[in-house]
Amino acid sequence: MLIREKLEQRGLVIPPAQVVPEGMTFSYRRAVRHGNLVYIAGHGPSEGAGWGAPFGKVGVDLTVQEAYAAAELTALNVLGTLEREITGLDDVACWLKMTGWVNSGPEFTEHAQVINGATDLIRDLYGEDKVAARAAVGAPALPFDMPVEVDAVLALQ
């Protein structure tokens, strides 16, 4: 089954690309392809062209479950970048590496459970054998007060 079909079965939609807020500039590319490798820049949870995502620290402003959902939404944004800027969603041979940052205080320890929102989605779409090696790290702050940020490296077929 194609990845788009699997997304539709789950009722999930890839959000449109985020638009850089007026008056700001970002000096990076959302994705870079080198040979059969694709490097995806850090993405956050956004449901549309703007930045109307959940904000705040996990464990303070957001529950683990809310942050898990934000991580899943972030993975959808990563998929959107892959599809719009590099290739089709079905061209992935393997997700090689994923790093997830969780905006949390020093006492919070459930980073892995939060970032599971991103990796569970990738596993469900691509299969267990294509899931990335992963790190889940706490951060004292993230851009725009996002609760999570995820980047990835993957190999294309």
The answer to whether the beta carbons of residues 142 and 103 sit under 8 Å apart is yes
Strand, helix or coil for residue 71 = helix
Q: State the pLDDT at residue 113.
A: 98
- Per CATH, the number for 37-43+54-156 is 3.30.1330.40
What pLDDT is recorded for position 134?
Answer: 98
- For residues 13 and 59, what is the distance between their CA atoms, to the nearest angstrom? 27
Long-range contacts of 25-34 (CB under 8 A, 24+ apart): 30/81, 30/85, 31/81, 31/82, 31/85, 31/86, 33/86, 33/87, 33/156
pLDDT digits (tens, 9 = 90+) for 35-55: 999 999 999 998 765 666 789
What pLDDT is stored for residue 12 in this prediction? 95
Beta pairing, strands 92-103 & 133-139: parallel
Looking at residue 51, its pLDDT comes to 60
Dist. CA 6–CA 18, nearest whole Å: 23
The number of beta carbons lying within 10 Å of the beta carbon of residue 105 is: 11
Residues in the chain predicted with pLDDT less than 70, given as ranges, are: 48-52
Query: d(Cα 50, Cα 40) in Å, to the nearest integer?
Result: 20
Predicted local confidence at residue 52, as pLDDT: 61
The pLDDT assigned to 49 comes to 59
Q: Burial of 151 by CB count in 10 Å (0-12 exposed, 13-18 middle, 19+ buried)?
A: middle
If we measure between CA atoms, which residue out of 77, 57, 61 comes closest to residue 121? 77
Question: Hey, which residues does 117 pair with through a beta bridge?
Answer: none
